[in-house]
Chains A and B, each alone.
Chain A
Amino acid sequence: MIHLTFWDLAIASILIIMLAITSLLLQLNIARQLLVAATRNVIQLLLVGYILKLIFANTNLFYLGGIVTIMLLVAGFEINARQKYPLKRWIGFKIGTSALFLSSFAMALVALLVIVAPAPWYSPQYAIPLLGMLLGNTMNGISLGMDKLNQSVYQQRLIIEQRLMLGQDFQEVIHDIRAESIRTGMIPIINSMAIAGLVSLPGMMTGQILSGTPPVEAVKYQILLFFLITAGTGFGIMLAVSMIARRLFDDRQRLTLALLKIKR
């Protein structure tokens, strides 16, 4: 494995600076964002690198639990950001986080206890990257599914009420919107699973190969990850979307948009 030095990364950063200068000259209005993002990238990743180094040196279930809890809470919070019709803060966080927790942690436990089975099973070298990938992808999926659900319900509220007025059960009324929302959330991961290897080499596999892992070993891990992530994402979306869909109706099956934070 070839180790990268400070100067190697410095050369790479010159590329970014050149890009920033070019975009300044072209007045693209993006140079500042680009540089801020690049700086954040360096600081965040270096920080994580050192924290991981520390944690890898001390295999301890409590340290791991702490880190994993923070990861979960941040992901849960981010689900509700950047939504067109977000849920009210607390309820959105609660639903998002519990769906994330159930699906991602279940998948991670299957991988750690049954499939990869490192010793001990909570070895941070395996647990943290695995859970990170699961949380990140599931978060994206839930966020997309939620956005689609809330937007569809808001836009079709008159139709939903009309159907309720005609005596249709809320499960029947919301069925198509719920299915469509779950589908929307699952499209990205299904796409990337389908094109993997043909169009692009997945990032994890690329990293492993670059750092010296034999390609076939890297591929096996990549397949494992794809399956775990897809299952975790799928179940997470189903959980979250179903929980919200249920709560959009009250005990007398009336549509209640009180759950949504509607910008007037």
Chain B
Amino acid sequence: MADLTVKNLNLAAITTKLTQNFNFTTAGGQCLGVSGPSGIGKSVLLRAIADMLPHQGEIYLGELESQSVPAPQWRKKVALLPAESQWWFDRVGEHFSQYNDSLFQYFGFEQDVMNWQISHISSGEKQRLACIRVLMNEPQALLLDEPTANLDPQNQGLLETLITQYQSEHQLPVIWISHDLQQLEKVSDRLLYLIEGSYSISPVKPVLEGETA
């Protein structure tokens, strides 16, 4: 799968806290964790990569530059999953154009889920359904903005496992925002730590890698 590369990405026009230029690559199958103090602009960074915010600099999926394709097409390829998903119809099924057996089963749903009322489903179910909805577009990169922030520990663990499994099966580049460093140690390979006007990237599992080598 293609790498996700950010070249001279600058968001100074959006927030005064992010004046730095971003340059980094996340290879297919790799996960880049993103952390930093709250309000620093982690979500801004992710939304810009999904082309949901105006920005300077370039973002590449393999050879493909974001501005060279229509925005909806880019957003299907580079999919953003927010912490809180939005649902606008009454029933689950109305938000899906088709029923994809394997995806629903993968996330632990039977076909009858399509008739469920949105107002009756739990936040854990909602977030797993949001994952299915995003993966339905067959994205080639995943941007996760605190995907488990509203979940209890059990659902949090479940979603972490499912996403990392899916990521390695499909060899997707993933960028994963979390305020929980322990979670990022589990799911990501490198950690981008954001501070005002700057950032650092470091490996998160130096010890583990040393052991296996």
Binding site for B on A (CB under 8 A): 156, 158-159, 161-169, 250, 252-254
Contacts and interface: CB of A to CB of B under 8 A. Distances in A.
A162 B85 contact: yes
B97 to A, nearest CB: 11
Given A162-B82, A166-B133, A166-B137, A252 B51 contact: yes
B64 interface: no
Contact of B71 (A159, A161, A163, A253): A253
A253 B72 contact: yes
A161 B52 contact: yes
Interface of B: 50-54, 67, 70-73, 75-76, 79-80, 82, 85-88, 133-134, 137
Given A250-B54, A252-B51, A254-B54, A167 B86 contact: no
A168 B72 contact: yes
B137 A158 contact: no
A254 B85 contact: no
B52 A254 contact: yes
Highest count of chain A CB atoms <10 Å: which of B51, B53, B67, B71: B71
B53 A165 contact: no
Given A159-B88, A166-B133, A167-B137, A252 B71 contact: yes
A169 B72 contact: yes
B54 A162 contact: no
A167 B134 CA distance: 9
A154 to B, nearest CB: 15
A164 B86 CA distance: 11
Contacts of B133: 166
A104 B57 CA distance: 47
Contacts of B76: 166-167
Nearest to B139: A167
A162 B54 CA distance: 17
A163 B88 contact: yes
A254 B75 CA distance: 11
Contact of A167 (B67, B72, B85, B88): B72
A247 to B, nearest CB: 15
13 contacts: A158-B86, A159-B87, A159-B88, A163-B86, A165-B50, A165-B79, A165-B80, A166-B133, A167-B72, A252-B67, A253-B71, A254-B54, A254-B71
B52 A164 contact: yes
